[in-house]
């Protein structure tokens, strides 16, 4: 195992991560500190020459890694402990969320070697073997890491063909297969993302690929495309990283951040707080309407560039209520209540208070989204891109959306916004 890992932001050496007696330490590279292009690794790691201690370093880097069964399976395949953050990053930290890649000290980062095409046959073989070998380790020589507990794979997509990145080549999209036990998950997520877009929420473009089994494909918002088509990574951190919390604390009920803390992140760090606060308000209302009970702190992120810090486009929008075996209780309480059927006008009033926005804006936003969402959902349901069985499931989502929108419309009406 290496003694240290060099941390790169795009092609620039940003600093050095080292492990000593089980503790992690990070220090910025002097050249990066003096660079006119400097951006911090995290809002918890401001510009300084001194090394950051374990209690700051570990939460940030551990949040770059997969979670749950996927992390366990990768650790087993790589023959390292799943709790050993340093060893895991050494194995799979070559392409992480945002602009970060990690390489063993003394080893030059591999050059951008382009992309290798993935045939449908090869992809389906890997999908069939997914329970034994997670997609993130689809090839032994690839070092890919994405946070979260769902199967996913960073890919390059040119509009017709899927490719795997080689060397330091950046991916352009994230590919997610269906989840065993949860039917039509790709259709569910694609529908909810398109519905959000129809309501003017900031979300990346998504699609369903049929290979022939349905796969959810979403464009990476942490990438920018130059005039020559070259992809560049954009740095991002999730809200657990922004709050210096481990991924195990992503749920409010387990000691993680609630909505007050999420709005505090915007108020403290965003360079466009009014816009980001409005979008976060819309996100909370939208997730309530579609029945997304799994909207937690790691499903929110900040983009960090030389121009400023802003709330990232939204992702992982899914109607978890479509699956009876999953809890309906919200990951983030609204006005102190996480049971949707118990949420009353007073809870939304409390939510408006913690948002930091003028309450009139909150009620107006609620009224506008609730008024538009039912028709937009019905229009999307008729999209011929969805298959018959998928449409049956999505019809149930539309029914839930309609019932909850009616409820919110009534609340907003009593406030004079309908």
* pLDDT at position 265 over 60: yes
Q: What is the pLDDT of residues 352-410, one digit of tens each?
A: 999 999 999 999 999 999 999 999 999 999 999 999 999 999 999 999 999 999 999 99
pLDDT digits (tens, 9 = 90+) for 274-296: 999 999 999 999 999 999 999 99
> 304 by DSSP, 3-state: which?
strand
Contact by Cβ (8 Å): 31, 13: yes
Q: CA-CA distance, 219 to 206, in Å (whole number)?
A: 6
Give the residue, 223 or 106, on which the prediction is more confident. 223
Domains of the chain, with CATH numbers? 4-104 (no CATH), 112-219 (no CATH), 252-414 (1.10.1070.20)
Catalytic sites, residue numbers: 294
How confident is residue 135, by pLDDT bands cut at 50, 70 and 90?
Answer: low
pLDDT tens digits for 307-354? 999 999 999 999 999 999 999 999 999 999 999 999 999 999 999 999
CB atoms within 10 A of CB 9: 22
Q: Tokens for 30? A: 């002097």
Of the CA atoms within 13 Å of residue 399, those in its CB half-sphere come to 8
Q: What is the DSSP letter of 151?
A: -
**Which pair of tokens denotes residue 397?**
């989502």
Please name which of 256, 265, 353, 362 lies closest in space to residue 310, comparing C-alpha atoms. Answer: 265
> Residue 144: pLDDT above 70?
no
User: 194-217: b or e for each residue (b if 16 or more CB lie within 10 Å)?
Assistant: bbbbbbebbbbebbbbebeebbbb
Q: How far is CA 163 from CA 46, 125, 307, in A?
A: 36, 15, 31
Cis check: omega of the bond before 90, within 30 degrees of 0: no
- For the chain, give the number of residues: 418
Alpha carbon distance 60, 240 (integer Å): 8
> Would you tell me the crossing angle of helices 85-92 and 68-78 to the nearest 10 degrees?
80
Confidence at residue 29, expressed as pLDDT on a 0 to 100 scale: 97
Task: Record the pTM.
Answer: 0.94
Residue 148 has pLDDT above 60, yes or no: no
């Amino acid at each position: 195992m290496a003694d240290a890992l060099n941390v790169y932001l795009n092609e620039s050496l940003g600093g050095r991560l080292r492990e000593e007696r089980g503790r992690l330490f990070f220090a910025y590279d002097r050249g990066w500190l003096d660079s006119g292009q400097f951006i911090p690794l995290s809002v918890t790691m401001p510009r300084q020459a001194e090394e950051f201690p374990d209690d700051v370093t570990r939460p940030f880097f551990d949040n770059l890694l997969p979670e749950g069964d996927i992390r366990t399976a990768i650790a087993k395949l790589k023959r390292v402990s799943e709790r050993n953050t340093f060893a895991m990053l050494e194995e799979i930290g070559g392409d992480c969320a945002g602009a970060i890649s990690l390489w063993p000290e003394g080893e030059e980062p591999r050059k951008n070697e382009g992309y290798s095409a993935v045939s449908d046959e090869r992809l389906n073989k890997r999908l069939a073997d997914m329970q034994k070998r997670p997609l993130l380790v689809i090839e032994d020589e690839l070092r890919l890491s994405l946070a979260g507990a769902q199967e996913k794979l960073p890919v390059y997509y040119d509009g017709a063909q899927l490719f795997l990145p080689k060397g330091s080549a950046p991916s352009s999209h994230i590919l997610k297969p269906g989840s065993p036990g949860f039917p039509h998950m790709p259709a569910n997520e694609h529908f909810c993302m398109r519905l959000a877009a129809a309501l003017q929420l900031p979300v990346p473009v998504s699609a369903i690929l049929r290979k022939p089994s349905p796969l959810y494909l979403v464009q990476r918002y942490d990438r920018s495309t130059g005039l020559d088509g070259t992809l560049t990574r954009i740095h991002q951190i999730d809200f657990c990283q922004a709050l210096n919390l481990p991924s195990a604390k992503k749920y409010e009920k387990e000691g993680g951040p609630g909505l007050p803390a999420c709005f505090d992140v915007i108020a403290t760090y965003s360079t466009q707080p009014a816009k980001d606060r409005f979008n976060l308000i819309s996100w909370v209302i939208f997730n309530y309407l579609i029945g997304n009970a799994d909207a937690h702190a790691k499903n929110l992120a900040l983009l960090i560039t030389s121009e400023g810090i802003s709330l990232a486009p939204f992702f992982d929008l899914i109607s978890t209520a479509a699956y009876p075996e999953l809890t309906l209780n919200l990951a983030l309480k609204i006005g102190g209540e996480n049971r949707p059927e118990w949420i009353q006008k007073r809870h939304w009033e409390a939510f408006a208070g913690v948002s930091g926005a003028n309450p009139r804006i909150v009620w107006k936003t609620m009224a506008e989204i609730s008024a538009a969402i039912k028709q937009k959902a019905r229009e999307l349901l008729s999209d011929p891109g969805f298959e018959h069985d998928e449409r049956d499931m999505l019809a149930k989502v539309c029914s839930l959306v309609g019932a909850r929108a009616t409820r919110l419309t009534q609340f907003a009406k009593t406030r004079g916004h309908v």
